[in-house]
Chain A
Amino acid sequence: EDQVTQSPEALRLQEGESSSLNCSYTVSGLRGLFWYRQDPGKGPEFLFTLYSAGEEKEKERLKATLTKKESFLHITAPKPEDSATYLCAVRSYGNNRLAFGKGNQVVVIP
């Protein structure tokens, strides 16, 4: 069974204070790891897909990295608009579904 654990559950940052979110996973064979952003009252919004260890993707202040056991979402010099819950999900070979972690709730204080 695919498993995803995200830490920390909640994080408060000062504006400009960089930090990282962790997503540890266990799968029988990784087909893809996905990061989403979710704002209150909205559905998850797709950010990145990572397929193999060593891969990195960037978008504005966000950078996602992948190893064989975990992924990190680095937030560089965050702004208040980066406040959201960030969700990590994995898909394994032979599996149509995504298994999600419980999320990292990030609050950026001006």
Chain B
Amino acid sequence: NAGVTQTPKFQVLKTGQSMTLQCAQDMNHNSMYWYRQDPGMGLRLIYYSASEGTTDKGEVPNGYNVSRLNKREFSLRLESAAPSQTSVYFCAGGTGEYSPLHFGNGTRLTVT
């Protein structure tokens, strides 16, 4: 039982390059989330998907797009990376309105 799996674990991009962060879960979560974590800022929500086929913006959506490919997979795309997007990105899933979120181990992204 893998839980929430993120790929890649590490990535270095140059300014202007694009990439997609992948997230897959095998915990039957209805909701999935993308957060970023920066020193001194805590975890901030980028986008989330309350159910398959729906997506909504969080606190910091600018510069990102998402796709809920199916119930298991939720990807985050950076179309034109900027140094301000250097961060650790976490994917999470949840089952119900009273349930906690379960996180993956993150993707560490550096944009030079």
Contact = CB atoms under 8 A, between A and B. Distances in A.
Q: Which one of B43, B92, B99, B106 has the highest number of Cβ atoms from chain A below 10 Å of its Cβ?
A: B43
Interface residues of A, number: 23
A23 B102 CA distance: 20
Interface in A68-110: 87, 89, 91, 96-103
A41 B6 CA distance: 13
Contacts of A51: 98
Contact of B42 (A41, A42, A45, A102): A102
Majority DSSP secondary structure for residues of B touching A? strand
Interface residues of B, number: 27
A89 B56 CA distance: 20
A31 B97 CA distance: 8
B41 A97 contact: no
B112 interface: no
Contacts of A102: 40-42
Interface of A: 31-32, 34, 36, 41-46, 49, 51, 87, 89, 91, 96-103
